[in-house]
Structure 1
Amino acid sequence: MKIILQSIVTCPNCGHQKEETMPTDACDFFYECENCEEIVKPKPGDCCVYCSYGTIKCPPIQAGTNCC
């Protein structure tokens, strides 16, 4: 299975979108929106901001394993 590392993150506060490269060896629990400077955290039950606000789930979830 090919793991996709690019995800477009949408800020839940202002709607700003930015393509980001996801790390393969760590989870991003916090994400700062470059537009409104809001610090975004994952939704309850999600492991990281990519799983909550990205167009693509994080690499461990794509691979079918537990996230960090």
Structure 2
Amino acid sequence: MQLTANRATCIGAGQCVFTDPDAFDQDDDGLVLVLRPEPAATEEIARATEAVHVCPSRSLRLVESAP
């Protein structure tokens, strides 16, 4: 799985950080930073999926990694 963030559309709500602080942080401007771009464990994928769903600007994506 590949976790990405579109910083151009991020509004800095921080919901991703509240949902999965191990995978996300915010920079000094409040924009999302992806700390764990390749979640592997089932729990990591579940938390990343939840963060994608709660993002108000829809700036996060979780997709299958290319082989």
TM-score tier (shorter): under 0.3
Write 1 or 2 for the structure with the bigger share of helix. Answer: 2
Q: TM-score, normalised by structure 1?
A: 0.26
**TM-score, normalisation: structure 2:** 0.26
